[in-house]
């Protein structure tokens, strides 16, 4: 197995909640790379203005993170990076249909799950404050998405096929902050299969190595500035 | 590489392990599945008649005169769960902590003491191996329904029986339930136990499982009790 030294940029803000929404996407890739046994060299950027420099824009003209530097070239879009690793880690399903299901859930993650999750997290961090009305709408959108996941996971142990795939890892990363900060006992009771699946994937050794042991939310965190 | 060489050598000289049993059944199949996980070559010595394992020669192997029996390089083993544990250790399917190991033991023993008796009544009677009257049959069904509910309630909150990945406990109980899921548990039972169905589908679809049992078949019309 070829060991690649890849540099990886993400944005780490030093607040009480040190993990930012960007980090969630980045860590997905690290997780997958643990499965793929690829060496990843992490580069932490401390300030968003770093991504506007000419030097960085040459790497990713979008001026965003995460960005992966491979021996062949640069990749942006976190899901593309996830798929890149998933193929090497054999976490992309065992046949064409399962592969498409993985793609389905990865795309669903971006369109249905991450928007409300990111808004909640950035609100909590004080970057993009929202009012009560927006909060209620976002919360009900999120619960709707969770219900869809829960319904699928009542009948399926994992999202695609009968073993862990990149889809499971990626969605668990999107939901990790939720389960740690927002989804208290009351919410978890509404979604038992989702909770079951989350705990299973979050306790896989490769995931534990990156996120650590999850402490389920006791009290839902409210806004603070 | 050395293990593969030894395996190939064993094929020409003698298999390292021999399993004495009838051809098809939940006990022997769970052992064969675990052997696949453990990468242990097992020669399957198949008995076709009950008398085959009541011979004086066989009593030397297992004084109980029962199957399955595993012949290992060190000696003979009887009791299917003990054989399962022996292979589970080699396959690293015995849990990843002291507590998980105990959970695997717990479910394996539960399989022997709680699940096997009534389930055996149902399956063997349906296939005509034994005959029970209507009363005993419905009693067995009621008992099995209660046990399935126990499993289902547990599996609503846990993906697998012990820890966060497949263990010998999952393989043993799924093997025990395979005939029932294929021939007895119709839509009604599956609807009443959704988490159990989810878990069974997952375990029974693992490649090591389907190599031995074949693909998962969902029961449409349950077999009736033979009169």
Q: Does B139 touch chain A (CB under 8 A)?
A: no
The first and second tokens of residue A166, run together, are 């990149």
pLDDT at A55: 78
Nearest to B111 by CA among B80, B141, B71: B80
Q: Does B164 touch chain A (CB under 8 A)?
A: yes
Q: How far is A161 from chain B (nearest CA, A)?
A: 8
* Contact state of B164 with A154 under an 8 Å Cβ cutoff: no
Residue B43 is classified by DSSP as E
For residue B11, how many other CB atoms are within 10 A of its CB?
A: 12
Inter-CA distances, A38 with A1, A25, A195, Å: 8, 18, 30
* Contact state of A193 with B205 under an 8 Å Cβ cutoff: no
pLDDT at A8: 44
- Tokens 């040459």 map to which residue? A58
Q: List chain B residues with CB under 8 Å of A204.
A: 164-165
Task: Please report which confidence band the pLDDT of residue A223 belongs to, taking 50, 70 and 90 as the band edges.
Answer: low
Q: Does B198 touch chain A (CB under 8 A)?
A: yes
The SS3 of residue A6 is strand
- B17-38 tens-digit pLDDT: 999 999 888 999 999 999 999 9
- A18-27 tens-digit pLDDT: 333 334 444 5
pLDDT at A20: 36
pLDDT at B5: 52
**Assembly ipTM:** 0.73
What whole-number distance in Å separates Cα of residue B5 and Cα of residue B2? Answer: 5
Q: Give the one of B158, B198, B205 whose C-beta lies nearest to A154's C-beta.
A: B198
Q: Give the one of A162, A195, A199 whose C-beta lies nearest to B202's C-beta.
A: A162
Is residue A8 within a helix (H) or strand (E), and if so which, with residue range? strand A6-11
* Contact state of A157 with B202 under an 8 Å Cβ cutoff: yes
Q: List chain A residues with CB under 8 Å of B206.
A: 162-163
| Cα torsion angle, B157, B163, B165, B166, sign | negative
What whole-number distance in Å separates Cα of residue A166 and Cα of residue B106? Answer: 32
Task: Please report which confidence band the pLDDT of residue A173 belongs to, taking 50, 70 and 90 as the band edges.
Answer: confident
Return the higher-pLDDT residue of A199 and A48.
Answer: A199
What whole-number distance in Å separates Cα of residue A45 and Cα of residue B114? Answer: 58
Q: List chain B residues with CB under 8 Å of A151.
A: none
Q: How far is A202 from chain B (nearest CA, A)?
A: 9
Q: How far is B166 from chain A (nearest CA, A)?
A: 10
* Contact state of B157 with A154 under an 8 Å Cβ cutoff: no
pLDDT at B129: 83
Q: Give the one of B157, B164, B205 whose C-beta lies nearest to A204's C-beta.
A: B164
Is residue A206 within a helix (H) or strand (E), and if so which, with residue range? helix A205-211
- A20-61 tens-digit pLDDT: 333 444 455 556 666 665 655 556 555 666 677 887 788 778
pLDDT at B39: 92
Whether residue A133 is predicted with pLDDT greater than 50 in this model: the reply is: yes
Render each residue's pLDDT in chain B as its tens digit; 227 residues: 555 555 444 444 456 899 999 988 899 999 999 999 999 999 999 998 888 888 999 998 888 888 899 999 888 998 899 999 999 999 999 999 988 999 999 999 999 999 999 999 999 888 888 888 899 999 999 999 999 999 999 999 999 999 999 999 999 999 999 999 999 999 999 999 999 999 999 999 999 999 999 999 889 888 877 65
Q: Which segment of A79-93, A103-117, A163-177 scores lowest on mean pLDDT?
A: A79-93
Q: Give the one of A158, A196, A200 whose C-beta lies nearest to B156's C-beta.
A: A196
Q: Number of C-alpha atoms within 13 angstroms, CB side, residue A31?
A: 33
Q: Give the one of A154, A199, A200 whose C-beta lies nearest to B194's C-beta.
A: A154
The first and second tokens of residue B116, run together, are 């096997």
pLDDT at A39: 57
- A140-152 tens-digit pLDDT: 999 999 999 999 9
Best of A93, A94, A160, A162 to mutate (most B CBs within 10 Å, chain B): A162
- A52-86 tens-digit pLDDT: 788 778 877 887 777 777 777 787 777 887 888 78
Contact predicate B167/B94, CB 8 Å: yes
């Amino acid at each position: 197995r070829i060991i690649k030294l890849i540099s990886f940029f993400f944005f780490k803000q030093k607040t009480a909640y040190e993990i930012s929404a960007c980090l969630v996407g980045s860590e997905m890739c690290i997780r997958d790379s643990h499965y793929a046994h690829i060496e990843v060299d992490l580069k932490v950027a401390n300030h968003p203005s770093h991504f506007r420099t000419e030097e960085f824009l040459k790497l990713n003209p979008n001026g965003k993170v995460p960005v992966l530097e491979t021996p062949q070239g640069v990749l942006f879009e976190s899901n593309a990076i996830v798929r890149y690793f998933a193929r090497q880690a054999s976490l992309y399903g065992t046949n064409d249909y399962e592969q498409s299901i993985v793609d389905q859930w990865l795309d669903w993650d971006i369109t249905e799950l991450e928007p409300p999750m990111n808004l909640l997290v950035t609100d909590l961090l004080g970057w993009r404050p929202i009012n009560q009305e927006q909060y209620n709408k976002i919360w009900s959108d999120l619960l709707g998405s969770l219900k869809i996941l829960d319904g699928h996971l009542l009948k399926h142990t994992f999202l695609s096929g009968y073993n862990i795939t990149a889809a499971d890892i990626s969605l668990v990363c999107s939901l990790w902050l939720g389960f740690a900060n927002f989804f208290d006992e009351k919410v978890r009771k509404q979604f038992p299969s989702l909770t079951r699946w989350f705990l299973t994937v979050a306790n896989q050794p490769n995931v534990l190595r990156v996120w650590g042991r999850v402490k389920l939310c006791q009290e839902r965190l409210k806004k603070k500035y | 590489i050395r293990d593969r060489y030894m395996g190939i050598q064993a094929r020409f000289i003698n298999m390292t392990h021999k399993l004495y049993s009838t051809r098809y059944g939940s006990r022997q199949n769970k052992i064969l599945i675990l052997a696949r996980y453990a990468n242990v070559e097992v020669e399957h010595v198949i008995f076709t008649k009950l008398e085959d394992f009541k011979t004086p020669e066989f009593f030397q192997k297992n004084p109980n005169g029962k199957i399955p029996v595993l012949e290992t390089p060190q000696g003979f083993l009887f009791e299917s769960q003990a054989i399962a544990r022996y292979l589970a250790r080699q396959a690293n399917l015995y849990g990843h902590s002291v507590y998980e190991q105990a959970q695997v033991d717990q479910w394996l023993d539960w399989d022997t003491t709680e699940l096997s008796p009534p389930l055996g009544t149902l399956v063997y009677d349906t296939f005509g191996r034994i005959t029970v009257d209507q009363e005993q049959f419905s009693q067995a069904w009621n008992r099995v329904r209660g046990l399935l509910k126990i499993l289902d309630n547990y599996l609503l909150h846990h993906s697998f029986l012990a820890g966060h990945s497949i263990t010998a406990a999952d393989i043993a109980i799924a093997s025990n339930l395979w005939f029932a899921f294929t021939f007895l548990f119709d839509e009604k039972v599956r609807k009443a136990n959704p988490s159990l169905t989810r878990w069974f589908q997952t375990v029974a679809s693992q490649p090591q499982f389907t190599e031995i049992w074949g693909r998962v078949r969902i029961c449409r019309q349950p077999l009736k009790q033979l009169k």
